[in-house]
């Protein structure tokens, strides 16, 4: 793995010489227009333990240093930028972030969302109760994000949630973990070999949840660890997301051997049902052309996943742990304000 690190800020965590209790990892791809809002939400945390923020630059074309210039000397946290240009994908980026984290307690969020005022505190408390947890997301429209942090916060964080212990609600065969709002022990994520770059953009979080459960770890839901999730609302975005989600879900079912337990039908049945729905659409006023288009996006994604990943000769190999070559005890981090290759 080849990475470089820019360490910025006057002192560790903005808290004098205090070591961070939490490392916040944020993968950044085309994030220059959104990352400042997320960093602003991390700057006004309530009752947070000392924490650092690691931005994993996964896009050589973005100007991440310029986008975060206002946070270089934050009094709330130490900000570090880790370059991870060798492979593109959030799985690889998060693994690189894990490698460079100083704290044992890790929390993950995305560059285009907003965390609640108590996100770091409640996530840290959750990590004291369980080795892995997944948080709560409030889906929001795009508009509030254009109007600034306080507008977004009014939408989902007017009354910051009180701390409640993570609840082990996931008793079914399909555990869910949301990569844009989760956390846990660094040692556990290293044990699990982090994320699988074979999933890269879709399904990597739920793949981690499957592997965690197989290794004997629970994936409880920490409802008090809350974010405002920026929804993608255009028809093109929703259809693209539907296709890739269905494709990744079919791959998960195949990789983890649980296809027979899934309510998702085999792809020939799925396609047949879509054809029938398309033919009957003129006679069903409650069904719009967009509804049919979305059904086709899921059905085609399901078919693509089955045909691409259901044959051992054509399915790409899994690559968990790519990017997890940890710096030796983190003693190779450069002095503040320098960069090493």
Chain segment 292-311, per-residue pLDDT in tens = 999 999 999 999 999 989 88
Question: How many Cβ atoms sit within 10 Å of the Cβ of residue 235?
Answer: 10
336/282 same-domain check:
no
> Which one, of 26, 230, 22, 38, lies nearest residue 115 by Cα?
38
pLDDT: which is higher, 12 or 121: 121
pLDDT average, residue stretch 257-277: 95
pLDDT of 327: 56
Residues 194 and 270 reside in one and the same domain: no
Could you tell me if 50 and 153 lie in one domain?
yes
Which residue intervals of 148-288 are DSSP H helices? Answer: 149-156, 186-191, 204-214, 235-255, 267-280
In a domain, 263, yes or no: yes
171 within a domain of the structure (yes/no): yes
Residues 158 and 79 in one domain: yes
Q: pLDDT for 178-209, tens place per residue?
A: 999 999 999 999 999 999 998 878 999 999 99
Identify whether 152 is part of a domain.
Answer: yes
Is the pLDDT reported for residue 57 higher than 90? yes
For residue 82, the domain's CATH number is 3.90.550.10
Distance (Å) of CA 136 to CA 92, 223, 310: 23, 5, 32
Same domain as 280, residue 216: no
pLDDT at 325 over 60: yes
Residue 16 pLDDT: 44
Query: Is residue 314, in this structure, part of any structural domain at all?
Result: no
Overall average pLDDT of the 121-134 stretch: 97
48 and 174 in a single domain? The answer is yes
User: How far apart (Å, rounded) are the C-alpha atoms in residues 219 and 169?
Assistant: 9
| Residues 187 and 323 grouped into a single domain | yes
* Judgement on whether residues 126 and 184 belong to the same structural domain of the protein: yes
Residue 334 — pLDDT band, cuts 50, 70, 90?
very low
Residue 89 covered by a domain: yes
Assess if residue 16 is contained within a domain. Answer: yes
Single pTM value for the model: 0.89
If asked whether residues 105 and 193 sit together in one domain, one would say: yes
Q: What is the pLDDT of residue 313?
A: 64
Q: Indicate the helix (H) or strand (E) that contains 133.
A: strand 132-140
81, part of any domain:
yes
Q: Residues 62, 108: one domain?
A: yes
pLDDT digit string, tens, across residues 19-41: 999 999 999 999 999 999 999 99
240 closest CA partner among 202, 297, 295: 297
Tokens 């399909």, residue?
174
As a whole number, mean pLDDT of residues 58-64 equals 93
Domain region containing 169:
4-231+319-340
210 and 264 belong to one structural domain: no
Is residue 323 one of the residues assigned to a domain? yes
Q: Indicate if the pLDDT at residue 101 is higher than 90.
A: yes
CB 187 within 8 A of CB 145: no
Whether the pLDDT of residue 7 is over 50: the answer is no
Give tens-digit pLDDT for 39-51.
999 999 999 999 9
Residues 12 and 142 reside in one and the same domain:
yes
Structure tokens at 36: 């400042």
Looking at the structure of the chain, the number of domains it has is: 2
- Give Cα 80 to chain centroid, integer Å: 18
Distance of alpha carbon 309 from alpha carbon 299, whole angstroms: 15
């Amino acid at each position: 793995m080849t990475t470089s690190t820019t360490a910025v800020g006057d002192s560790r965590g903005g808290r004098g010489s205090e070591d961070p209790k939490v490392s916040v990892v944020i993968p950044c791809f085309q994030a220059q227009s959104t990352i400042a809002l997320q960093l602003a939400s991390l700057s006004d945390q309530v009752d947070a333990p000392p924490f650092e923020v690691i931005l994993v630059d996964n896009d050589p074309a973005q100007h991440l240093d310029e986008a975060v210039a206002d946070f270089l000397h934050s009094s709330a946290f130490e900000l570090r930028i880790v370059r991870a240009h060798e492979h593109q994908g959030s799985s690889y980026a998060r693994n690189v972030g894990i490698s460079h984290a100083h704290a044992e307690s890790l929390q993950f969020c995305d560059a285009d969302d907003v965390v609640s005022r108590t996100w770091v505190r409640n996530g840290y408390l959750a990590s004291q109760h369980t080795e892995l947890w997944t948080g709560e997301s409030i889906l929001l429209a795009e508009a509030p994000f254009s109007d600034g942090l306080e507008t977004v916060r009014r939408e989902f964080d007017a009354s910051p949630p009180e701390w409640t212990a993570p609840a082990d609600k996931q008793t079914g065969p399909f555990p869910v973990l949301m990569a844009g709002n989760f956390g846990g022990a660094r040692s556990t994520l290293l044990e699990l070999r982090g994320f699988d770059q074979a999933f890269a953009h879709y399904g990597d979080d739920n793949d981690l949840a499957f592997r965690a459960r197989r290794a004997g770890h629970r994936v409880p839901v920490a409802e008090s660890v809350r974010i405002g999730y920026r929804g993608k609302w255009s028809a093109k975005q929703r259809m693209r997301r539907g296709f890739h989600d269905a494709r990744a879900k079919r791959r998960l079912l195949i990789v983890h051997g649980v296809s027979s337990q899934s309510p998702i039908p085999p792809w020939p049945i799925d396609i047949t049902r879509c054809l029938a729905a398309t033919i009957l659409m003129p006679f069903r006023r409650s069904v719009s052309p967009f509804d049919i288009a979305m059904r086709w996006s899921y059905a085609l994604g399901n078919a693509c996943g089955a045909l691409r990943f259901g044959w051992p000769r054509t399915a790409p190999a899994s690559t968990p742990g790519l990017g997890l070559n940890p710096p030796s005890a983190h003693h190779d981090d450069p002095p503040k304000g320098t960069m090493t290759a």
